[in-house]
Amino acid sequence: MRTQHSPSTTVMQTLSHYIDGGWVEEPGAERLPVLNPATGESVAEMPLATADTVDRAAQAAHRAFKAWRSVPPIERARYMFRLRELLVQHTEDLARLITIEHGKVLADARGSVQRAIENVEVAAGIPTLMMGYGLENGAGRGIDEEAVRRPVGVFACVAPFNFPLMVPFWFMPYAVATGNTFIVKPSEQVPLSQQLVFDLIDQIGLPPGVLNLVNGDRHTVDALLDHPLIQGISFVGSTPVARHIYARAAANGKRVQASGSAKNVVVVMPDAVLEKTIPNVINSAFGSSGQRCLAGSIIIPVGVAHEPVREALLASMKQIQVGDGLDPDVIMGPVISAPARDRILAAVADGAAEGGHLLTGGGAAQVSERPGGFFVEPTLFDNVRSGMRLATQELFGPVLSMMPAQTLDEAIAIIDGSPYGNAASIFTEHGGAAREFGARVDVGNIGVNIGVAAPMAYFPFGGARESFFGTEHGQGRDAINFFTDRRIVIRRWFGGVSDARGHW
Ligand code: NAD
C-alpha cells in the first residue's frame, strides 16, 4: 500500500504500476515529480513505463483474456458491484487525492467520483446490455439467425489531466464487464487517484491481468499504440494528440475512439431567466478553473441581453474566491501547472492586443497562504470578435469571452464556425428558439438552460468535428459497441423429432 494518510492531506510518495494482479516496482525507472498545483510542491514521484513494461502489461492482459472472456456475464457483473461498493466507501479519500493532484475544489472532485461510480453501476447491468439479437427463420424456413456480442481482447485507455479519476471509467467498466482485459494509462500530471482506484481493484478479486495500470508519458502511449496484442485504444485529451492517436493506432490495425479539444459556447437569449442563467454560466466557465472539456469559454448574449448579462457576470465574478481546493470556502482552485498558467496569461495578453476588451481579471491570482500555487484570476473579456485567438483557441483556463450577437442565426454561425464541436448551450424560455438551436448546432452535447451538458453514464459522451475522431463514443451503449464484435450464427438442423408426439 503506497498511501499515507494524515489528518490534513493524503499523499502518496512512490507510485507504481499495477500489472498481472500485483504492484510492480521499477527501482531503476526514470521518474517524474507529481506537483500539487495549489502549492507547487512535489507530492509524489511517478515512474515512467518503458516499452518493456507496456509489453509486460499487454502480455498479462492477453493471457487473462482467454479465461476472462468465458466467465459468464452475470459473474463479471458481480465484480462491478464489489468495485462500486469500495468506490462509494472511499469517495472522500479519492476526492481528496483528486483535489491534491488536480487542484479542483472538493465538491467538484466528489462529483467526478460519483460520475465514475455511475459508470460502474451501468456496467453492472452487462448481462442485459451485452445481449445480441436473433430472428427465428431469419435466414430462411427452418434456419435461424443470431448476432452474438463477443469481447475482442486487450484494450487500453489514455487519459487527460482534467478528470484524473473519472475519464478511465468512461471505458474501463464496460470493457471489462463485456469480457475484455484492460490497461489504464493516466495523465502523467495526475497519477495519484488511479493508484487508490487500483488499490481498490486489488481488493475485488479479479483474475490477475484483467485490469492493469501503467504510468507514463507520450513514449508509454506510443508503446501502447504500437503493441500488437492491444486491439483498441480509448483516448481523451487535446486534438493534436487525438489525431496522432487515431492515425497511429489505426495504422497498427486497432479500433480507436479519440476525444479532443473544445471551445464551448453559451448563448443567452433576451428572455433568459438571468438569476438562474448567470450562476450556471459562472459554474460552466470558472468551475474547475475552466479546465472541463464541457466548460463554457464563449458567451454570446443576443440583442438586448448584452448589457444585463455583462453586469450580472461582473457582479457574480466578484464572489469567486480563489485558493486551495481543499479549503471549503474556495470556489476556484489553481490551474494544473506553471506552464498552463503562463500559456493562459499569454493568451489573455494576446486577446487584449487583438482588441478584446478586458473587463476583469487577466493576471496571476495571489493567494497569500499558497504563494507557490498556479492561480489565475477569473477573467472576462467583452467585444471579442470572430477570428481573434480568444474566439478560436482552446484556452483551458478561467477565461470567458463575450461575443455579442444580434440574432440567434449569428450565434449559431459562430458556434458552427469553430473547428470544435464538443458542447453548446442556450439559455431561453422560448421553445422555438431552443428547438432551432438544438436542431442546427453541430456539436456533440447540447444544453437547454444547462451550463455543463454532461451526459449521464447511460448516454454516450463525445463531441463532433475536431473534438472527436471515431464512431463510438465512451459510456453507455456506444461503449458496449466499441468493446464488442457482433458475430453472426446461422443455424439449421437436418434431423427432426422422431414422431408426431415429439419423442426421440
Ligand atoms: P493531452 O492531449 O496533452 O494529454 C492527454 C494524454 O495524452 C496524456 O495521458 C498524455 O500522456 C498523452 N500524450 C500527450 N502528448 C502525447 C503525444 N505527443 N503522443 C502520445 N501521447 C501523448 O491533454 P491534457 O492536457 O492532459 O488534457 C486536456 C485536453 O483534453 C483539453 O484539450 C481538453 O479539451 C481535452 N479533453 C477532452 C474531453 C472530451 O470529452 N472531448 C474530455 C476531457 C479533456
Supply the pTM of this predicted model: 0.96
Cα 31 to Cα 120, 257, 428, 500: the distances in Å are 31, 29, 51, 76
Q: Do 485 and 384 share a structural domain?
A: no
Q: Do 192 and 81 share a structural domain?
A: yes
Between CA 53 and CA 223 the distance in angstroms is 9
Q: Is 55 touching ligand 1 by the criterion CB < 6 Å?
A: no
Q: Is 45 touching ligand 1 by the criterion CB < 6 Å?
A: no
Q: Do 288 and 221 share a structural domain?
A: no
What confidence tens digit (pLDDT) does each residue in 270-291 have?
999 999 999 999 999 999 999 9
Q: Is residue 498 part of a domain?
A: no
Q: Do 97 and 16 share a structural domain?
A: yes
Q: Do 418 and 329 share a structural domain?
A: yes
Q: Do 369 and 254 share a structural domain?
A: no
Residue partners of 457: CB distance under 8 A and separation at least 6: 115, 118, 119, 121, 122, 475, 476
What confidence tens digit (pLDDT) does each residue in 104-124 have?
999 999 999 999 999 999 999
Q: Do 366 and 291 share a structural domain?
A: yes
Q: Do 352 and 289 share a structural domain?
A: yes
Give the closest residue (by CA) to ligand 1 atom 8: 187
Q: What is the DSSP letter of 113?
A: H
What confidence tens digit (pLDDT) does each residue in 227-274 have?
999 999 999 999 999 999 999 999 999 999 999 999 999 999 999 999
Do 249 and 231 meet the contact criterion of CB atoms below 8 Å apart?
no
Is the per-residue pLDDT at 5 higher than 80?
A: no
CATH of the domain at 268: 3.40.309.10
Q: Do 231 and 319 share a structural domain?
A: no
Is the per-residue pLDDT at 150 higher than 50?
A: yes
Active-site residue, selected from the candidate residues 57, 293, 295, 300: 293
Is the per-residue pLDDT at 425 higher than 70?
A: yes
Report the percentage of the chain scoring pLDDT > 70.
96
pLDDT band at 25 (very low <50, low <70, confident <90, very high): confident
- Per-residue pLDDT, 497: 57
Q: Do 294 and 231 share a structural domain?
A: no
Between CA 453 and CA 281 the distance in angstroms is 12
Q: Is residue 308 part of a domain?
A: yes
Is the per-residue pLDDT at 3 higher than 60?
A: no
Q: Is residue 494 part of a domain?
A: no
Q: Is residue 495 part of a domain?
A: no
- Per-residue pLDDT, 2: 37
Domains in the chain, number: 2
Domain span at 69? 8-260+467-489
Atom of ligand 1 nearest to the CA of 187: 9
Calculate how far, in angstroms, residue 236's C-alpha sits from the geometric centre of ligand 1.
Answer: 6
Mean pLDDT of 280-306: 98
Cell of 345: 496569461
Q: Is residue 501 part of a domain?
A: no
Atom of ligand 1 nearest to the CA of 259: 41
Atom of ligand 1 nearest to the CA of 396: 31
Q: Is residue 462 part of a domain?
A: no
Q: Is residue 19 part of a domain?
A: yes
Q: Is residue 453 part of a domain?
A: no
Beta-ladder partners of 426: 267, 448
Q: Judging by DSSP bridges, how do beta strands 143-151 and 484-491 pair with one another?
A: antiparallel
The residue ranking higher by pLDDT, 368 or 3, is: 368
Mean pLDDT of 124-129: 98
CATH of the domain at 21: 3.40.605.10
Q: Is 187 touching ligand 1 by the criterion CB < 6 Å?
A: yes
Q: Do 282 and 207 share a structural domain?
A: no
Is the per-residue pLDDT at 9 higher than 90?
A: no
The residue ranking higher by pLDDT, 9 or 439, is: 439
Q: Is 153 touching ligand 1 by the criterion CB < 6 Å?
A: no
Is the per-residue pLDDT at 8 higher than 60?
A: no
Q: Do 98 and 173 share a structural domain?
A: yes
Long-range contacts of 462-465 (CB under 8 A, 24+ apart): 462/257, 462/259, 463/259, 463/260, 463/262, 463/293, 463/420, 463/421, 463/422, 463/423, 464/421, 464/422, 465/419, 465/420, 465/421
- Per-residue pLDDT, 26: 82
